[in-house]
Every structure is written in C-alpha cells, then in structure tokens.
Amino acid sequence: MLFDPHSYEAAHLDPESRRLLRATIDWFEDRGKRRLVADDQARTWYADFLDFAAREKLFATFCTPRAEAAGAPDKRWDAARNAALSEVLGFYGLQFWYAWQVTVLGLGPIWMSDNAAARERAARLLDEGAVFAFGLSEREHGADVYSTDMVLTPTDGGFTANGGKFYIGNGNVAGMVSVFGRRADVDGPDGYVFFAVDSRHPNYKLVRNVVDSQMFVSEFRLEDYPLTADDILHTGQEAFSAALNTVNVGKFNLCTASIGICEHATYEAITHAHNRVLYGKRVTDFPHVRQNFVDAYARLAAMKLFADRAVDYFRSASPDDRRYLLFNPITKMKVTSEGEQVIALLWDVIAAKGFEKDTYFRMAGRDIGALPKLEGTVHVNLALVLKFMPAYLFDPVAYPDVPTRHDPADDDFLWRQGPARGLGAVRFHDWERAYREHAHVPNVARFHEQARALRVLLTTAAPDEEQQRDLDFLLNLGHLFTLVVYGQLVLEQAGLTGFGEDLLDQVFDVLVRDFSGYAVALHGKASSTPAQQEWALGQVRKPVVDRERFERVWAEVAALSGRYEMNP
C-alpha cells in the first residue's frame, strides 16, 4: 500500500511521467539521508533541487497545459500525475514539496487568464526552469481578499502598484508572482485586480524570510511598481473567482504531501520499534503499541484511498458536475488532519526517537501540522463543507459513473471553472450506494448506521436559528458530515481497486470510533438541546471486534519493518 522508492514504477502513468518521477526519486536517494537532514538543520536554500528540476524540465512538463506547450507532447496539466509528484516530494521533505506547491498556485491565475502575453511568458519561464509564486496573503489580513491593501493607481500607460504581501513562498526567486490587489479608483468587487510581477524588478522589494526554515516564505513590497496591459491577468469579479479557483486547483496537493510525509515516517517508526527490546520483550509485542500502529496504518490507508478517488472527480469535472468542490476542502482539511493523527500515533510509540536530529521523523513531526494550517485553517474548510450538506444528504441526482482517471489527458476545465459562487446548487449522486455495496464488511455496515442517523438529526433536531450562528456548534456538525463523505470516497476507491477487506474493515473500525467521538463532543456543546443530546448518545457505537482480522492487519504492518530505509 505504501510508496516504496525501491520498487516504485508508477505503472499507471505514461513513459515520460514515469521517467521523471524515477529521476526525482533517484536524485534524492543518490543525495542521501545525511545530506537531507544536514541541509534541513542548516536551513540551506535548496538551489540544488531547483537546478535538478530545471535541468529535467520537471515543473515545465508537469505544470504546462497543452494549450501553452508549443507542441511538446509530454507537457500537460494532469491531476493524477501531479498527485504522484506531490506524494514523492512530500516523502522526502515538506520544503521540496513547498517549492512545487507555490509554483502551482502562482500559475493558477496565469493559466486562467485571457492574457496571451502573460501565458506565453509563463510557459517560456517554466521551460527555462523558473518557479512561481502566489501573492494573495497579507500580514494584516491573511488571505482575506475583501481587505487587500495592495493598491493599483492608474497612470497614462497602465498602473503603479504599492503595497505588501506576506507568507509568499518562492517570493525570493519567482520568475512571475501572481499578485491580488485592488484599484484605487474603483470601489467594491469591481475594483479587484490580479496582476503579474517579476521578483527581479528593482521596484519589487524583498523584505525577509518570515520562517526559520529551508523554505523561503517571503514578505515583499511593491513600491511604485509599473504595470502595463501585458501584466494584468484578471479584473473585477473575475479576479476574485481566479483567487478561489486557484485554491481549488493548487491546494489539493496538501493531501498528497501529508501522505508522503506519513509514509516515510511509518517506515522509520516500525523499523525502529519492531527491532527494539524493552523489559525483555520486543516493543511491538505490547498490545497498545500494536493498536497504535494498526490505527496509524488504517488512517493512512484511508487518506490514500480518499485522495486517489478525489483525483478522478477533479479530472472529470465540468460545468454540470462540480462535485469536486466538496471533495477539495476535505482533502485540504480532513486528509491533512488525519496525517497529524498518524504521526501522533507513531510518535507515542517511538517517543524520544522522534526528536533525534538524524531522523526523518524529526522533520515529519515538525512539519505535519503545517499542512492543515499552511494553506487555510481547518475551521475555514469545515465552514465551506457545510454549504454542501443539504444537497448531499437529501437531494441526490443521477450522474454517470466516474471512472478511474489515469489517462494522459489535459485537465483543461480547471482553467475555466467559472464564477466562484452557487455552491448550494451543486448536486451529488446517491452517497449510500457505496455503503450498500460494501454492507458485507461489518464495520462499514456499522458506520453506515451512524451516517444515516445524521439525516435523522437534521430532520428531527436540526440546529435552530441561534445554533446556526454558533460556529463552534456548526463546526462539530461539519466533522460528522465530513466523515460520511470521507467514507463514501474511501469505499468507492476500495471497490475500484479490489482493496483488501481486512484493512477496509479496520479503516471503518477507526471511523466508527471517530463518529462516536464527535457525537459525544456534540452532546457536550453548551448550546446542544435535549433532543440533540439524546441523538448524540445514540450514536456512540463500538466497532465490530475481530481479533483475527486485527492480527492479519498487524502482520501487514510488521512486514514493513526494514522494507525501506533511505540511502545514507
């Protein structure tokens, strides 16, 4: 189930994609773990990685849509292979993934633009090995696009831009930075502007790196930066939509980075614990240790299943099928939060080992929490998820089945998503179908009972007007709803791939316990009503216990001991 650099073939992808992924893996392995760890400790700027990516045209191949590829047959924007690269980079370190991630974000407003000159410039720079940046966040306002202080003042030939941006990855070297601002002479949403600047321009002032890391997360200022028509990407409401639609495209990568980090940490943790003897016993002979490892493994399996299936919905999206808009915030929020859970479970076992400076785990423990927070906090994504709940639970419609999408196609719909509104009008297929198809798996059936009960809550004890203004209450409800959606895509992917039923049952053993936990939390909310409290206690269920199944899954985990260790 886990990515293994020694045997990875990416057989589901085309030959050039496989070659580039293999070359990336080999570059890291040849460089070795000692160098990886030493550079991390010294906070060394990863120029050698960017040189490698430029030499292989890695970002150019993976990030250039075919419409801009000038006939290069291997260039395209393909969410399936992008997910594979994101996982590989996360496996070796968040810092390398971050350089890729902010390039993806920086390109979003450009590829969505009608500005042919800007698109041509971006394609050329990518081919030359440049990276990109996304200038949205500000020190005072975060990513609140309604309150930007980046101001464009009209001139005879265009505009001058003045203002600062904060938390901008690659801001020290980006060939193009996509920047969000507003016109000084136009009020309201009609005054929004997305424009492109060059970090090498003398009026682009790099202030500092705001983090203590290999990554360069910059603060920069524009001081009377001159802009012409060739620099303007979007104006008005279209600029606002470009910001949100870029997030839809680019921040999906958070989940696969978290998966890669957890995979590497899992190898290191099981190899350490399984070969360590305490009090005359192998550490992994202790029941609580096995439980931690099996829970971590099951959570990681679910992360992979959900993320893989979500890719299919991204690639099959259209103006008439926007289900990806629900699955996207769940990849950003739920999968990454599960990554935190995986690392916590492993860390409870390996304890002090996780702090040792020559381990990958030290990096993983430090970095895994960044992913739910780095690109949008959990509560923001939960609030977004709640917008889809009525249509998802109560108003299913018929859709053709979405196939597995590993075909080498260009995902061009991502650049024409349209206005970022109308989320309440998005419709979904029958979510219960996946649960019915796996009803023979004991814990799937038990979790399905809990999931169905959520509709009962919303029809018999729905949040009243005051509770609908109580974000603390609603966010807990959002966690319960998210579990239902999460389980659906896990089951769909399991059915498509012939996933082992022992591990699937163990995954839903975890989900049953999680649903029970959120139900208890809802019961304890200050504003919960007697009817809601009664409902909540009724959802506290014990998973179906099967010791033989547990031991078979544990055997899978134990077999990972010594399977992979990074080349020293």
Helix extents (H) in 461-526? 465-468, 471-497, 501-524
Q: Is residue 6 part of a domain?
A: no
Return left, alpha or beta for 179; rule: phi > 0 is left, psi -120 to 50 is alpha, else beta: beta
Residues 229 and 85 in one domain: no
- Does 423 share its domain with 550? yes
Q: What is the CATH number of the domain that holds 96?
A: 1.10.540
CATH number of the domain that residue 137 is part of = 2.40.110.10
pLDDT of amino acid 380: 83
Structural domain that includes position 94: 15-130
Same domain membership, residue 115 and residue 143: no
Handedness of CA 182, 183, 185, 190 (dihedral sign): negative
Amino acid (one-letter) located at 336:
T
Does residue 209 sit within a domain? yes
pTM: 0.97
Question: Looking at the domain assignment, is residue 567 inside a domain?
Answer: no
Residues with Cβ < 8 Å from 492, sequence gap 6 or more? 309, 434
Long-range Cβ pairs for the range 361-369 (8 Å, 24+): 361/265, 361/268, 361/269, 363/37, 363/40, 363/93, 363/94, 364/261, 364/262, 364/264, 364/265, 365/265, 367/93, 367/94, 367/261, 368/258, 368/261, 368/262, 368/265, 368/339, 368/340, 368/342, 368/343, 369/340
* Local confidence pLDDT in tens for the 568 residues of the chain: 899 999 999 999 999 999 999 999 999 999 999 999 999 999 999 999 999 999 999 999 999 999 999 989 999 999 999 999 999 999 999 999 999 999 999 999 999 999 999 999 999 999 999 999 999 999 988 878 888 999 999 999 899 999 999 999 999 999 999 999 999 999 999 999 999 999 999 999 999 999 999 999 999 999 999 999 999 999 999 999 999 999 989 988 999 999 999 999 999 999 999 999 999 999 999 999 999 999 999 999 999 999 999 999 999 999 999 999 999 999 999 999 999 999 999 999 999 999 999 999 999 999 999 999 875 668 788 888 999 999 999 999 999 999 999 999 999 999 999 888 889 899 999 999 999 999 999 999 999 999 999 999 999 999 999 999 999 999 999 999 999 999 999 999 999 999 999 999 999 999 999 999 999 999 999 999 999 999 999 999 999 999 999 999 999 999 999 999 999 9
In a domain, 406, yes or no: no
The domain boundary residue, chosen from 242, 274, 307: 242
Residue where a domain terminates, one of 177, 209, 242: 242
For residues 87 and 39, membership in a common domain is answered with yes
Size of the chain, expressed as the number of residues it contains = 568
Domain count, the chain: 3
Residue 148 lies in a domain: yes
Paired sense of beta strands 132-135 and 151-154, if any: unpaired
184 with 279, same domain: the answer is no
Pairing of strands 151-154, 277-278: unpaired
CA 549 to CA 503: how far, in whole Å? 8
Answer yes or no: is 390 within a domain: yes
Task: Please state the separation of Cα 395 from the chain's center in Å.
Answer: 28
Q: How many CB atoms lie within 10 A of CB 407?
A: 12
Single-letter code of the amino acid located at 397: V
- Domain end, chosen from 97, 130, 163, is at 130
- In a shared domain, residues 145 and 223: yes
420 and 352: one domain?
A: yes
Residue 282 belongs to some domain of the structure: yes
- For residues 262 and 197, state if they share a domain: no
Assess if residue 436 is contained within a domain. Answer: no
CA atoms of 47 and 55, how far apart (whole Å): 12
Distance, CA of 27 to CA of 13 (rounded, Å): 20
CATH number at residue 486: 1.20.140.10
Using left for φ > 0, alpha for ψ between -120 and 50, and beta otherwise, residue 246 falls in: alpha
